[in-house]
């Protein structure tokens, strides 16, 4: 339970770091050219919600008014989805791979990501883990749905895709709570495990010692020595 709480703390810190980076990038005008349009549509959503809460419109009228506005809102939100996807992959895949299984949050809580079978982790392991844990593909799929389907047809498909993301999240959380090693669905599929930094380093030292002992025990192959061929010098014949 102690490790699980530390993982939760690391997760929150890392999520905060990535969120700050995303919103910092989104402040750039050339990255988010539809900011004003997005804010206008968002205000429309707020207005429709207020009307529904004040019983000014029925649930059917609420859905009829909300769906087309939400459709436009999602389309205008495309740059945010792309930026957030790049930031999540950059931080939780590339950055964590380069720093050998640690992020800022994991470093603070002295945690480290390692292989579950003591094999070196590749970039693919980090990518699979991030895709499952942070539902990286879900916003991309939702964006494709919004841009390929009409406003009348997209909503049901969008809801089903969103439901899948919640199912994945709950399964992951359930595995982390019931498994003794604390591995969620993301760790199982990526063949990873999160442990205390000292525990992983101690295990790595043991593996390195064993490898050195095996090298010492293995018989050294003798390289065959080449025989030197001596050439006899013949005296020049006397005339």
**Structure confidence by residue, pLDDT tens digits, 37-51:** 999 999 999 999 999
Confidence grade of residue 239 (pLDDT, cut at 50, 70, 90):
very low
Instruction: Give the pairing of strands 192-196 and 111-115.
Output: antiparallel
Output the pTM of the full model. Answer: 0.80
pLDDT digits (tens, 9 = 90+) for 54-86: 999 999 999 899 999 999 999 999 999 999 999
CB neighbour class for 57 (10 Å; exposed up to 12, middle 13-18, buried from 19): middle
> What pLDDT digit, counting tens, does each position of 124-149 carry?
999 999 999 999 999 999 999 999 99
Token representation of residue 153? 């047809």
pLDDT in the model for residue 155 = 87
68: left (phi over 0), alpha (psi -120 to 50) or beta: alpha
Q: In angstroms, rounded to a whole number, what is the distance separating the alpha carbons of residues 143 and 74?
A: 7
CB 30 within 8 A of CB 130: no
| Confidence grade of residue 203 (pLDDT, cut at 50, 70, 90) | confident
**pLDDT (0 to 100) of residue 94:** 97
pLDDT in tens, 106-124: 999 999 999 998 888 999 9
Q: Indicate the burial class of 70 (C-beta count within 10 angstroms; 0-12, 13-18, 19 or more).
A: buried
């Amino acid at each position: 339970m102690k490790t699980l709480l530390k993982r939760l703390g690391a997760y929150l810190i890392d999520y905060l770091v990535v969120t700050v980076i995303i919103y910092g990038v989104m402040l750039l005008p050339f990255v988010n050219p539809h900011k004003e349009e997005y804010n206008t549509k968002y205000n429309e959503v707020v207005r429709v919600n207020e009307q529904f809460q004040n019983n000014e419109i029925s649930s059917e009228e609420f859905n009829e008014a909300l769906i087309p506005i939400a459709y436009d809102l999602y389309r205008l939100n495309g740059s945010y989805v792309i930026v957030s996807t790049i930031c999540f992959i950059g931080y939780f895949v590339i950055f964590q791979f380069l720093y050998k299984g640690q992020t800022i949050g994991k470093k603070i809580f002295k945690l480290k990501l390692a292989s579950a079978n003591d094999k070196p982790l590749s970039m693919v392991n980090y990518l699979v883990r991030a895709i499952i844990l942070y539902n990286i593909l879900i916003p991309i799929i939702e964006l494709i749905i919004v841009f390929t389907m009409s406003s009348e047809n997209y909503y049901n498909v969008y809801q089903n895709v969103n439901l899948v993301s919640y199912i994945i999240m709950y399964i992951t959380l359930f595995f982390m709570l019931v498994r003794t090693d604390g591995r969620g669905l993301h760790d199982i599929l990526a063949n990873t495990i999160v442990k205390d930094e000292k525990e992983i380093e101690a295990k790595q030292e043991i593996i390195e010692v064993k490898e050195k002992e095996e090298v010492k025990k293995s018989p050294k192959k003798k390289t065959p020595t080449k025989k030197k061929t001596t050439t006899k010098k013949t005296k020049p014949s006397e005339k």
